[in-house]
Structure 1
Amino acid sequence: MKFNAFPVIRYLLFFILGITAYLQTQSGGVPSGSFQFSLTNIYYLIGVLLIIFGISIFFRKPLLRGTVLMLVIFLAGWTLTFQKTVINQPNHFTNLPQFTHYQATIVSNAEIKPKTYKVEAEINAIKIDGKWQKATGKTLLYFNREASERPNYGDIFLVKNMPREVEAPKNPEEFDYRRFLQYKAIYAHHFLWGKEFFKIGHDAPSKILEFSYKANQYADSVFKARIQTPNEYGVASAMVIGLRDDIDNDLLDAYSASGAIHVLSVSGMHVGILFLFLGWIFGWIKKRGKYGKQIFTTLIISILWGYAIFTGLSSTVLRATVMFSFIQIGTAIDRRQNIYNTLAISALLLLCWNPYWLVDVGFQLSYLAIIGIVFLHPYLNQLVTPNNPIIRNLWEGSSVCFSAQLITFPLSVYYFHQFPTFFLIANPFVAFFSFAVLPAGLLLLMVAPIPILSDIVTFILKYSLVWLNKSIFIIEKLPFATLKGFSISLPEMLLIYAVIWLFILFFLHSEIKHLRLNILIISILACFNITKDYFQSQQKNLTFHFIPKKSGISIIDGKSATFMADTALLNSSKIYNFHLKNYYDKLGIAHKNFLGLNQYANKQGVTFLDFEGKRILWLQQKFNGNLQGNADYVLLSNNAIRKLSPAFSKFQTGLIIVDDSNKRYVVENLKHQADSLHLNLISLYDTGAFSINE
């Protein structure tokens, strides 16, 4: 297999390099003027390169022609990403003066949260100094469920005040939600509690999307009416139409631990299952008549896009539908040997539409999984050829799962810091039941009004879901079902991919040089991990975490961590997963100890800590007296002190730390008092977490 046989892959790689180069220049959103001069120069440079390209064709210089073409594609990737970055538009609301009101149109389906409806909205106009002017840009809106009806796609609202910029992460290694939203062209959010908004009209920006969202809501209502058990309804809604609002946390954890979490997000796997199922059902059409292949292709692609509409045209399904549409077209015109070119064309088209999909984890995993299946599965399938059809199907299913998992697991570990040990056991069950769940779910949506037929389909769907969930729970309870609590760096991930690739080459060609090089890379990885393990075993630090409206500190001693907080916080897995997990994984924490504050505070709500010779005083409830003595650090929680004088008049400290359990106005007053008294004071809301390292 020669690389020259896949020219589109070369174009795609240089286009990706151009996108990546632009993304590296960004730092939380670049103002429009920052790159204006550079962009103008790039347009001139592209023009010059195109002239050189024409000259190279005339003088028949293939090397020069290829080099220039790759440079043009690289610059095209950079330029397109710049143009698709909405904050570079001068009329984006973040580039305009402060405003008092704005008009916004809902541009997404409502996501149901415990207390709010979460939607995306496009700002159309803003009011500055009593005058309206046009504006652009998306914001997240959170509507109070008790004070408002569910907002629908196309609803237009008049909103008072400005949306607030999404804040950067405030704890070490915390998930960067701000960057995640910026990659989706969202730069702000606004919580609406009932008095600051008013619905003024309805005008759907896209009739296709409006129909798609209504179809999505209809499908959800069918599942809710037909499947009464919560776990089965939640999985049906997630698997078939992509709504995960009603999935129980325990069920979600079970799917995650068994390596089947991808089944709960409508993505490439679901479209792939539907693609294979349709091929099995309608495959006979290809052999009928002169235009059998064309009719079959048209039918398959039409059903795939119909399914995409029922899922609300989510980005993951759109990407997968485009990818499989290209695969089907390539197959129809007998281009199977160029499947990699077909995949590259689909990826190039998708990235031209939205370059920011490149940094979407789902996009990366989908294409890697397909590449793994296309490349590895044929070789693995030849290793064993069982005569028994049941064993043969099980082997083929397992080899498909293994091919996809092998190619995607380094990237999954890099992002999610865990690895499902029994994925080879879980995925065949998932694939088997998914082949029943997905078609049965779609069929139910079509036959729901027909009494007897809909009952039969509901029975098949419900018990397929029951057995799917049972198999997942069984696998989750196996010992060492999931390896957790570790983190790998980008270089480590790339080295692991090198190891996998060299093993594949050795498996295919049996050349000892691949094995020798692999041993060298594995030795480098081992040395790197031994060194990292040593430094982690010696680490000591104390971190005052920023936790919204709460208090919490981590004391790290080697590979052990003690987290101190109030009992309610300790019992919140959501708080741990969002604010602490990545930090502990990065430090290689193997032993975690969670301690309630009430165990160590005295009657006055005071806790004394000693960390490597440094004294920490933690005040957790109202304190009216005068502090005596000294401490290196003082942590104030729950509005313990409102006046620094006289509390600190006879007390010496190097730094006063105010966490987010204090009311905002109290924090502002303390900051002003500290300035006048010449005391060092920081607010974790302003600075983020504060660490003491040894």
Structure 2
Amino acid sequence: MFVYILKTAPFLRIVIPFMLGIIWPLPLLFVIPGVLFLLMLHVGIGYLPLWVRFKLDVYRGIILQLLLVCMGCMLVDAKEKCKHHLIKAVPDEVLVGTIAAPIQSSQYGYRTVVELQTKEQLLIYFPPDSAVMAIQEGDRLLFNGAVQLISFNGNPGSFNYREYCATRYIYQQVHLQTGHWRHISLPKSILLRCRNSCLQIINQYIGGREAGLAAALLIGYRYGLDREMVNDYMQTGIVHIIAISGMHLALIYGCLIWSLQWLPIPSLKGVLIIVVVWGFTLLTGASASVLRAAVMLTVVTVGKFFLDRDSSTYNQLALSAFLLLCYDPALIKDVGFQLSYLAVLGILLLNKPFDSKSYWWRKLREAITIAIAAQAITFPLCLYLFGQFPLYFLPANLLAVPLSTLILYGEIMLLCVQTHWLGACLQWLLIMMNTIVEWIGHLPGALITGLHISVYGVVALYVCIVAYLAGKKGIVYMMGALCLWSLIVLPEKLQRQQQQVMIVYNQPRHTGIDFIQGHVVQFAGDDSISADMLRAARDFYDADTGRLAGFEQLGHFICCGNKRVVIVDSALPAGRPTKKFKTDYLLLSHNPRVAIKDLQGFYDVGCFIFDASSSRSRIEEWKSECYALTLRFLSVPDQGAYVVNF
């Protein structure tokens, strides 16, 4: 099976080594001499006698594969040099950029992305101000503020927002103050005008909570989605419905093929299809999954309407991956890119055609097989990335996918006819789909969490999938992969039983400390701290709440094992003790009006910790005092959550 795929898909032999070079890029110091040596070797073999060249043909193939690996390494280096520029703005310098994303609400105000005239992108945070809502995508922004690296809270198991932004070549952020910015409205591009027109029609004829879902289904505009609604779709494993994906583009492609049947000129039909496909791709923001589908459909269209020939779907998939990675090698880190290609590959490998006299029975079996195939092939990666599994993904897909297809075609019709009765029908369908998804998402055991696996587990599970496809011969490899995974996981499990960890969490305006011994965790701090943050960290350490044997807490004094922690959140009492209290850590929280030199009169401190519940100005004062007194300290808002083994 795999030999046949490699023979019919030559681009697979190109894209695999090319991707290896992107995933594990080597320094140019080694790559350039390697490329020169390989080229000389390849050319040298070409001058040898024919019978020698025939014997060395295998080695020439290996040389070409290594050159593709080097090509991937060099492309990553070139892109990083082109994109990775840090802004060093001098004080009072006015920066000018273009708004590159719609204004979104954040925890303390609003945020957006600005592209400077030098092509670097900055994450901009605005204070709560009604004037911010007048800013639109495509406007010019003049601003002045301190440019900083994007922060990461460092909480164990939490989402690394800094790394996420880095995959989009955004490395810095600016927190603007009121009066330190001004925007200038500019004429919008054709794509922005088309998108705004679509949003206006959707809001006018559908409206309400469902308008955000309708906009996400049609043009991938997710900024109006209700957060609880998104959670329901994630819990049922059908979030791909509200995120524009290859499925949406395939539906539009099928609609185009049907509607252009009357056109007698194949080449003109192909040009129209390609223009509409890429126009829709750009209109939706050109996400990785849509780009994959657009490139594949372009290849299919060119072959069908211009060259009058069909090609292997595996070859189309590999070609699209190669072209997209040449355009932007960072796409390989994009979760949407990974899941999109894996899902299509799973459908190609695991989906088997069914012969049945009943049309509806055949379609039902196809829908079931496609849903299971896509879920099976993405299952290991989803466990690694999200640590959860939607138990009822199959009924959710069988009910929501046909409804979303009907809604998508209805929205396209709404853009053409713009009638209130059609908008009311679409709103009713959207309400029905949301109700079904919400009901499934709240069934007992709808989402199984805490299923995190390591990279070794991902590799082992994919080896098992490949072994299953290989038939009886693959059983040995499957058992070997599972045994090797068990041997790798066993030492980690034994280490978890002996772990002793203290975590000072990084959440603004809150204090939280977890003490972990083995698989038991005990908390000290504010009850209002984020439960999701605590759950992620405890899943990461495989620990659950309980009572620690060596844990004692008396007010603000905590003793766990051989570590002592004192929490100071108010002014110190009058007078000084005759003997200092010795503590390993002194945690300053909730802006106490104390000075470090006064604390030294009460405590013999090993390390001062400033958590995120205190203001920036107060933390800066404490830091200055610690520098002057040469004391050891750690600032949680600056350095991230403090995690220490004891």
- Same fold flag (TM > 0.5): yes
Partner of 1:459: 424
* Amino acid in structure 2 at the alignment position of 1:607: H
How big is each residue's C-alpha offset from its partner over 1:316-339, in whole Å with a ceiling of 9 and x where there is no partner? 433432233224434555654521
Query: Separation in 1 of the partners of 2:232 and 2:457?
Result: 28
Q: Specify which of 682, 685, 691 is matched with residue 634 of structure 2.
A: 682
Does residue 194 in structure 1 map to residue 178 in structure 2?
Answer: yes
Post-superposition offset of 1:488:
0.8
Query: Separation in 1 of the partners of 2:524 and 2:299?
Result: 54
Query: Separation in 2 of the partners of 1:311 and 1:489?
Result: 34
Post-superposition offset of 1:111:
3.5
Q: Specify which of 549, 567, 580 is matched with residue 618 of structure 1.
A: 567
Post-superposition offset of 1:272:
2.9
Query: Separation in 1 of the partners of 2:83 and 2:387?
Result: 34
Does residue 585 in structure 1 map to residue 520 in structure 2?
Answer: no
Partner of 2:67: 72
Q: Is the 8 A contact 2:126 2:176 kept in 1?
A: yes
Q: Specify which of 298, 309, 334 is matched with residue 325 of structure 1.
A: 298
Q: Specify which of 441, 459, 466 is matched with residue 411 of structure 2.
A: 441
> Aligned pair in 2 of structure 1 residues 457, 88: CA closer, same or farther (>3 Å)?
closer
Post-superposition offset of 1:48:
5.7
* Amino acid in structure 1 at the alignment position of 2:581: G
Q: Is the 8 A contact 1:540 1:693 kept in 2?
A: yes
SS class of match (1:184): coil
What does 1:241-640 align with in structure 2 at a 5 Å threshold?
241-279=219-257, 281-282=258-259, 291-292=265-266, 294=267, 296-330=269-303, 333=307, 336=310, 338-377=312-351, 379=352, 381-382=353-354, 385-448=355-418, 454-506=419-471, 511=472, 513-529=473-489, 532-570=492-530, 576=532, 579-591=533-545, 606-625=555-574, 626=576, 629-640=581-592
Q: Is the 8 A contact 1:540 1:557 kept in 2?
A: yes
Post-superposition offset of 1:21:
2.6
Query: Separation in 1 of the partners of 2:243 and 2:83?
Result: 32
Query: Separation in 2 of the partners of 1:86 and 1:108?
Result: 22
Query: Separation in 2 of the partners of 1:612 and 1:136?
Result: 53
Does residue 161 in structure 1 map to residue 113 in structure 2?
Answer: no
Query: Separation in 1 of the partners of 2:97 and 2:241?
Result: 32
> Aligned pair in 2 of structure 1 residues 276, 397: CA closer, same or farther (>3 Å)?
farther
Query: Separation in 1 of the partners of 2:484 and 2:588?
Result: 46
Q: Is the 8 A contact 1:102 1:162 kept in 2?
A: no
Query: Separation in 2 of the partners of 1:464 and 1:436?
Result: 9
Does residue 119 in structure 1 map to residue 112 in structure 2?
Answer: yes
Query: Separation in 1 of the partners of 2:546 and 2:81?
Result: 43
Query: Separation in 2 of the partners of 1:175 and 1:87?
Result: 27
SS class of match (1:148): helix
* Amino acid in structure 1 at the alignment position of 2:567: W
Q: Is the 8 A contact 2:86 2:172 kept in 1?
A: no
SS class of match (1:158): strand
> Aligned pair in 2 of structure 1 residues 560, 443: CA closer, same or farther (>3 Å)?
farther
Partner of 1:127: none
How big is each residue's C-alpha offset from its partner over 1:243-280, in whole Å with a ceiling of 9 and x where there is no partner? 2223222222211111112222112232233334545x
Query: Separation in 1 of the partners of 2:191 and 2:23?
Result: 33
Query: Separation in 1 of the partners of 2:45 and 2:212?
Result: 60
Tell me which moved more, 266-275 or 497-506.
266-275
Partner of 1:32: none
Q: Is the 8 A contact 2:153 2:637 kept in 1?
A: no
Q: Is the 8 A contact 1:563 1:592 kept in 2?
A: no
SS class of match (1:164): strand
SS class of match (2:155): coil
> Aligned pair in 2 of structure 1 residues 674, 188: CA closer, same or farther (>3 Å)?
closer
Does residue 691 in structure 1 map to residue 640 in structure 2?
Answer: no
> Aligned pair in 2 of structure 1 residues 422, 70: CA closer, same or farther (>3 Å)?
same
Query: Separation in 2 of the partners of 1:532 and 1:503?
Result: 28
How big is each residue's C-alpha offset from its partner over 1:114-164, in whole Å with a ceiling of 9 and x where there is no partner? 56553322223xxxxxxxxxx552212234442335333443333223422
> Aligned pair in 2 of structure 1 residues 445, 314: CA closer, same or farther (>3 Å)?
farther
> Aligned pair in 2 of structure 1 residues 264, 684: CA closer, same or farther (>3 Å)?
same
Query: Separation in 1 of the partners of 2:191 and 2:361?
Result: 41
Post-superposition offset of 1:607:
2.2
Post-superposition offset of 1:295:
5.2
TM-score by length of 2: 0.88
Query: Separation in 2 of the partners of 1:612 and 1:412?
Result: 37
* Amino acid in structure 1 at the alignment position of 2:76: T
* Amino acid in structure 1 at the alignment position of 2:594: R
Tell me which moved more, 526-535 or 646-655.
526-535
Tell me which moved more, 165-174 or 482-491.
165-174
> Aligned pair in 2 of structure 1 residues 193, 655: CA closer, same or farther (>3 Å)?
closer
Structure 1: gaps of 5 or more residues: 26-34, 125-134, 205-209, 449-453, 594-599
Post-superposition offset of 1:67:
2.9
Partner of 1:214: 193
> Aligned pair in 2 of structure 1 residues 680, 309: CA closer, same or farther (>3 Å)?
closer
Post-superposition offset of 1:357:
0.6
* Amino acid in structure 2 at the alignment position of 1:110: P
Query: Separation in 2 of the partners of 1:88 and 1:315?
Result: 18
* Amino acid in structure 2 at the alignment position of 1:553: I
Q: Is the 8 A contact 1:169 1:178 kept in 2?
A: no
Query: Separation in 2 of the partners of 1:201 and 1:237?
Result: 24
SS class of match (1:464): helix
Q: How many residues align?
A: 627
What does 1:103-118 align with in structure 2 at a 5 Å threshold?
103-106=95-98, 108-113=100-105, 116-118=109-111
SS class of match (1:373): helix
Query: Separation in 1 of the partners of 2:359 and 2:70?
Result: 52
* Amino acid in structure 2 at the alignment position of 1:104: V
Q: Is the 8 A contact 1:485 1:589 kept in 2?
A: no
Partner of 2:162: 178
Post-superposition offset of 1:418:
0.7
Query: Separation in 1 of the partners of 2:46 and 2:416?
Result: 56
* Amino acid in structure 2 at the alignment position of 1:225: Q
Query: Separation in 2 of the partners of 1:191 and 1:227?
Result: 36
SS class of match (2:112): strand
Partner of 1:7: 10
Post-superposition offset of 1:364:
0.9
Partner of 1:646: 598
Query: Separation in 1 of the partners of 2:41 and 2:630?
Result: 66
SS class of match (1:390): helix
Post-superposition offset of 1:411:
0.9
Partner of 1:20: 23
How big is each residue's C-alpha offset from its partner over 1:388-419, in whole Å with a ceiling of 9 and x where there is no partner? 33222111111111111111111111111111
How big is each residue's C-alpha offset from its partner over 1:585-641, in whole Å with a ceiling of 9 and x where there is no partner? 222235589xxxxxx999xxx523221243322223343445763333221101224
* Amino acid in structure 1 at the alignment position of 2:122: T
SS class of match (1:147): helix
Q: Is the 8 A contact 1:117 1:150 kept in 2?
A: no
How big is each residue's C-alpha offset from its partner over 1:20-62, in whole Å with a ceiling of 9 and x where there is no partner? 233x76xxxxxxxxx6xx3xx8556545644544444454533
Post-superposition offset of 1:73:
2.1
Structure 2: gaps of 5 or more residues: none
SS class of match (2:151): coil
User: RMSD of aligned C-alpha atoms?
Assistant: 3.1
Q: Is the 8 A contact 2:18 2:69 kept in 1?
A: yes
